[in-house]
Amino acid sequence: MSFSELKLHPSLLSNISSKGYETPTPIQVQAIPVLLKGKDLLGIAKTGSGKTASFVLPILQGLLTKPIVERNRQPKVLVLVPTRELAMQVTEVFKELSHNLRQPVKSMAVYGGVSINPQMKALFGVDILIATPGRLLDLQRSKAISLSKVETLVLDEADKMLNLGFHEEMQEIFDLLPKKRQNMLFSATLSDQLSGINRVLLVDPVLVQIEAKPDEEELINLSGYFVPDERKGPLLRHLIREMDMKQVLIFTSSGNKADKVAAKLMGNGIEALAIHGKKSQFARTMALDHFKSGKLPVLVTTDLMSRGIDINELPYVINYELPRSPKDFVHRVGRTGRSSTQGLAITFVTREETQHFKVILKKMKRYIDLIDSETMDFKP
């Protein structure tokens, strides 16, 4: 099956190929035709399955066929997501796949944790709104946005949204939407709580279920940021604080750099130690013990040291610098997502390293969308 067989508009096909997608993933093959027909969909699929493009493409095709007459604060498409990170990722996919369309489409993310005023201003003329529930309601209450013209609703990672306790907010949002609309609900799992939502939300939905690969690597969520060298330190501190990381292993390309990164974190009130070949065995063992037992939240290290670090259920790995060899990358990110618990491996990539990073991902048969740190709001 090819993308052109899915009867997508030529300009979308061209954006798909610029993005480097060659063939549709199973969820895309199954979901796109259903969604193009305007039906409701229940998609059981994880991140990594290509689920985002499976709803982004039919939504864009739908907007292409309907001329936008007025532009105001009434989006036609609402995508609800549990986290700011996902909001940014989904928005990036909308932006990339709507590049140079005959009819320009404005997609925008809104989420909490940043000031609301710039979002209020920027909302004018939005067609596709990607939002976390709390912030969306704040914007709606202050009349910065109206949900009365929403024709398509997407719930992405609905199970996570429920786990984070967004149930009431979601219900409040549903009540603000027009009754007649297309609904798409994506979730990694199908829980009882989710079934409750399906029943009230979806009308005669088509179920598309993608089996997860029983592969260990699936447990490792990958994410990445475009970030110039001079902004890496501030971004690192921002992520550690914002994601409330209690145990994170950071990789640099040299012992010297590891020392510098750890010192800078300490200087900013984040407890961190570095271990590398030039440290005494005593210092290494002590730092590692403290890190493993959870007393030390941040350990900065190099590839050389990583082999000995075997920690159960390590939640975060950050590649402060990209390794040269894809093998090292796999080894580094493999420090997390072990013993069947999910882990997140974040990679910092400079513009010059983009190609190299793509090669690494291709070898791993993974693909991720990098978030541009320039679009993020954090202190230098």
Residue closer to ligand AMP by CB (options 130, 287) is 130
Residue closer to ligand AMP by CB (options 184, 272) is 184
187 scored as a contact of ligand AMP (CB under 6 A): no
Length of the chain: 380
> What is the nearest approach in angstroms of ligand AMP to the Cβ of residue 154?
12
What letter does residue 287 receive in the DSSP assignment?
A: H
Closest C-alpha to 214, from 46, 25, 50, 22: 46
> What is the nearest approach in angstroms of ligand AMP to the Cβ of residue 87?
13
Residue closer to ligand AMP by CB (options 367, 378) is 367
232 scored as a contact of ligand AMP (CB under 6 A): no
Order of strands, edge to edge, in the sheet holding 77-80?
A: 107-110, 128-131, 77-80, 152-155, 182-187, 41-44, 206-209
> What is the nearest approach in angstroms of ligand AMP to the Cβ of residue 153?
18
Burial class of residue 339 in the structure, from the number of CB atoms within 10 Å of its CB (0-12 exposed, 13-18 middle, 19+ buried)? exposed
Number of neighbours of residue 28 by Cβ within 10 angstroms: 25
52 scored as a contact of ligand AMP (CB under 6 A): yes
3-state helix, strand, coil in the chain (%, to 5): 45, 15, 40
378 scored as a contact of ligand AMP (CB under 6 A): no
Burial class of residue 63 in the structure, from the number of CB atoms within 10 Å of its CB (0-12 exposed, 13-18 middle, 19+ buried)? buried
> What is the nearest approach in angstroms of ligand AMP to the Cβ of residue 36?
16
47 scored as a contact of ligand AMP (CB under 6 A): yes
Order of strands, edge to edge, in the sheet holding 370-372?
A: 272-275, 298-301, 248-251, 316-319, 343-349, 220-226, 370-372
Residue closer to ligand AMP by CB (options 92, 303) is 92
* Of the residues 15, 49, 91, 247, which one makes contact with ligand AMP according to CB under 6 A: 49
Instruction: Identify residues 325-344 at the interface with ligand AMP (CB under 6 A).
Output: none
Assigned token pair, 60: 């864009």
DSSP letter for each residue of 295-336: S-SEEEE-HHHHTT---TT--EEEESS--SSHHHHHHHHTTS
Alpha-carbon distance of 102 to 63, in angstroms, equals 11
* Of the residues 11, 51, 159, 306, which one makes contact with ligand AMP according to CB under 6 A: 51
> What is the nearest approach in angstroms of ligand AMP to the Cβ of residue 54?
7
* Of the residues 43, 50, 75, 323, which one makes contact with ligand AMP according to CB under 6 A: 50
Instruction: Identify residues 346-375 at the interface with ligand AMP (CB under 6 A).
Output: 367-369
53 scored as a contact of ligand AMP (CB under 6 A): yes
Assigned token pair, 204: 């005669």
> What is the nearest approach in angstroms of ligand AMP to the Cβ of residue 24?
5
Residue closer to ligand AMP by CB (options 52, 247) is 52
What value, to the nearest 5°, has the Cα angle with vertex 278 and ends 277 and 280?
95
Instruction: Identify residues 1-40 at the interface with ligand AMP (CB under 6 A).
Output: 21, 24-25, 28
> What is the nearest approach in angstroms of ligand AMP to the Cβ of residue 165?
23
Residue 263, CB-side half-sphere exposure with 13 Å CA sphere: 6
Stretch binding ligand AMP (CB under 6 A), from 42-50, 173-181, 203-211, 330-338: 42-50
What value, to the nearest 5°, has the Cα angle with vertex 104 and ends 181 and 349?
100
Stretch binding ligand AMP (CB under 6 A), from 29-37, 51-59, 325-333, 342-350: 51-59
Residue closer to ligand AMP by CB (options 44, 258) is 44
Assigned token pair, 151: 């024709």
* Of the residues 11, 12, 44, 48, which one makes contact with ligand AMP according to CB under 6 A: 48
Size of the site for ligand AMP (CB under 6 A): 14
Tell me which residues touch ligand AMP (CB under 6 A).
Answer: 21, 24-25, 28, 47-53, 367-369
